[in-house]
Amino acid sequence: MVLWKWYLGIRIPDCRFLLLPWSAGMNMQHRYDRKAAVCCYAAGITLFLFTAVPTPARGEPVDYLGSVKPILETKCFACHSALKQEAGLRLDAASLILQGGDSGVVLEPGDADASSLLERVTDTDSDQRMPPEGDGTPLNSEQVETIRTWINEGAIAPEEPIPSHPGEHWAYQKTVRPPVPAVQNPGWVSNALDQFIAASHDQVGLTPVPEATPEVLLRRVYLNLIGLPPTHEQLIAFLNDKSPGAYEREVDRLLDNPQYGERWGRHWMDVWRYSDWSGFNQEVRYSQRHIWRWRDWIIESFNNDKGYDRMILEMLAADELCPDDENAIRATGFLVRNWYKFDRNVWLDDVIEHTGRALLGVTMKCAKCHDHKYDPISQAEYYRLRAVFEPCDVRTDRVLGELETSKDGLPRIYDAQLETPTYLFERGNPKQPDTSTKIDPGSPSVFGGTLDIQPVVLPVDSYYPSLRTFVSREMIIAAKDAVHAAEVEVQVQEEKFSDRTPLPRSLEYKLQREALELAHIQLDLASAKLASLEVRLDVEQMRHPTAGSETSVDATALQELTEAAGQAHRRAQEGEIAEQLLMTIQQLGALRLDVFRKKKQVRYGRLQIRASCGRKAA
């Protein structure tokens, strides 16, 4: 039995994490507690964002932590904190402000006019004022006055810890297995995890509640593993099973149940942002059709007990790890899902951002325009990660039994342009790439490791999918069916024309003759398309021999075959032009016939009116 346990990390303004434990062994009440915690957290963030910096009451000293530090954090920390120290100056702690930077002290307690810190934030020259233009808005008059008053009052601040470099945060450190604590109630413990829980109980003087009743225990495990309560029959069967290991056997049955993958697949689809495609009418604008194949892969992976590490590898690189395995290639829907029709840069930005969120636990988009303000990720590292995905594009492969990819298909990632360069966008503007330096693929150094990029030899039909045996076979069959249908249509039109019911010079006769000519042209066109398809497939197979076939290529034969393919293609194009021309002529003839018939109806109506008037006069 696999026990899944992880933590959801949420970034909060002071750069720490709110840890929300989430385990497959938690009951439904914990789910509600988790939702309540997230709601409270969201409400707190809302207040943080929309509450102005408190202004001290008249006569009260300025509070450094409540009034001054929030201003510095918003306006100055991006360039003067643990992550980055322009001019050797740090402003993320009062003691560091008093130390100054490379050019000396920047603050004179009790004398704001002599403090270069205040001078720089109020300078009228945009080249000298801080924060620099483009890196933030200038301080408003109220913020300036708050800092001025604080300095004149002596720059009083309480002792505070010196923030360490974000790269030293525990979230970026290697995990270390802690020693298992001793407990006062070993009888309650059944595994090492329980010992940590029991030790926490001991610290606060809590006594565990008795074990849940069998019916409650069964309901909990059903809801946690498959998301559904047990039926009455399942409950009775469990209560009647008094043999040892009854609960463990029930857990194993639930883990083998297909609904287990559906229940936990829904959770991870939320983390990985699964959604269907969207667009306008039949135009795909976001994601791709048939993205449900990725959904099915997620569910099947859980039910097949596929490891999390393997799932991540397949979602990011199944097209290279297992190019012949269509079941695994479905996993690249993780990248396909972010596709955006109108701007490739938007798609790649989303790929980087949501890969970082879902798999690395960090946000990345801040580093698109500048070095990250709170995490140890530089702008250059952002574009190194982009270079990993730069060659990628999206396509939909045919599936067995369906040639129309709009009806069914396999959306996937593939390397479209391996030589596409990556450049750093100045201030994140794609219209201002720094083409002087090409960015090589890589990952943020804080995560450790190095990329050893090696070429991968892919099978021919992975980058020429039309060469797959079933695809070429079904294309030939469809083309032959089109020829057969055209032959049947010729026979039908010949039988109609041989009837000779219309007069040879009548409009109906002319239309029937044109219909017969059109049927012959369509037969010639279908035959030309079949010939063109067969020759083109032969050319592609000669150019790109599949594994196990003859690899030597006769240049002369290839040239002759290529010329034949070109001729067949031109014949097919000529046939299409002739078909369109004759269809237009036939449509015009049909309109003429319709007008002629309506004129006859009008003349007949006039004759009837005259005859009626004559009878009345008589």
Q: Model confidence over 278-322: pLDDT tens digits?
A: 888 888 999 999 999 999 999 999 999 999 999 999 999 999 999
Burial class (CB in 10 A: 0-12, 13-18, 19+), 207: exposed
Cα gap 431→424, rounded to integer Å: 11
Between 451 and 591, the higher pLDDT residue: 451
pLDDT at 593: 62
pLDDT at 474: 87
The packing angle between helices 507-543 and 469-498, to 10°, is 160
Q: How confident is the model at residue 560 (pLDDT cuts 50, 70, 90)?
A: low
Tell which residue, 215, 252, 211, has the closest CA to residue 237: 215
Q: Model confidence over 158-190: pLDDT tens digits?
A: 988 887 877 888 888 888 899 999 998 888 898
Contacts of 439 (CB under 8 A, 6+ apart): 380, 383, 384, 386, 387, 421, 422, 423, 424
Decide: helix, strand or coil at residue 352.
Answer: helix
Question: Given a cut of 50, is residue 50 above it in pLDDT?
Answer: no
**Helix ranges, 153-245 (H):** 192-204, 214-225, 232-240
Tell me the mean pLDDT in the region 429-444.
94
Cα gap 495→426, rounded to integer Å: 72
Question: Given a cut of 60, is residue 37 above it in pLDDT?
Answer: no
Q: Model confidence over 125-163: pLDDT tens digits?
A: 888 888 887 777 899 999 999 999 999 999 999 988 887
Burial class (CB in 10 A: 0-12, 13-18, 19+), 130: buried
Residue 320 structure tokens: 């290279």
Between 323 and 36, the higher pLDDT residue: 323
Task: Note whether 338 and 351 are within 8 A (CB).
Answer: yes
CA angle 370–371–373, rounded 5-degree value: 110
Question: Given a cut of 80, is residue 600 above it in pLDDT?
Answer: no
Cα gap 559→565, rounded to integer Å: 10
**Helix ranges, 499-554 (H):** 507-543
Longest CA–CA separation in the chain, Å: 126
pLDDT at 470: 85
Between 10 and 311, the higher pLDDT residue: 311
Cα gap 587→511, rounded to integer Å: 9
pLDDT at 132: 84
85-99: b (≥16 Cβ within 10 Å) or e = beeebbbbbbebbee
Q: Tell me whether strands 410-415 and 392-397 are parallel, antiparallel or unpaired.
A: antiparallel
Decide: helix, strand or coil at residue 576.
Answer: helix
SS3 content of the chain, % helix, strand, coil (to 5): 55, 5, 35
pTM value surpassing 0.85: no
Question: Given a cut of 50, is residue 616 above it in pLDDT?
Answer: yes
pLDDT at 471: 85
Question: Given a cut of 90, is residue 509 above it in pLDDT?
Answer: no
pLDDT at 453: 86
Tell which residue, 210, 348, 194, 337, has the closest CA to residue 277: 337
Q: How confident is the model at residue 15 (pLDDT cuts 50, 70, 90)?
A: very low
> What share of the chain in percent tops pLDDT 70?
80
pLDDT at 126: 81
pLDDT at 74: 86
Q: Phi/psi of residue 515, each to 5°?
A: -65, -40
Question: Given a cut of 90, is residue 498 above it in pLDDT?
Answer: no
Tell me the mean pLDDT in the region 507-526.
78
pLDDT at 267: 96
Q: How far is CA 18 from the centre of its chain?
A: 25
Question: Given a cut of 80, is residue 579 above it in pLDDT?
Answer: no
Between 163 and 554, the higher pLDDT residue: 163
Tell which residue, 462, 463, 524, has the closest CA to residue 490: 524
Between 8 and 553, the higher pLDDT residue: 553
The packing angle between helices 214-225 and 258-271, to 10°, is 60
Question: Given a cut of 80, is residue 256 above it in pLDDT?
Answer: yes
Task: Note whether 322 and 314 are within 8 A (CB).
Answer: yes
Q: Phi/psi of residue 586, each to 5°?
A: -65, -40
Task: Note whether 78 and 373 are within 8 A (CB).
Answer: yes
Q: Model confidence over 68-119: pLDDT tens digits?
A: 999 998 888 888 888 788 899 989 888 999 989 998 999 899 998 999 998 8
Cα gap 480→531, rounded to integer Å: 10
User: Which letter does DSSP use for residue 428 in this model?
Assistant: G
Task: Note whether 403 and 470 are within 8 A (CB).
Answer: no
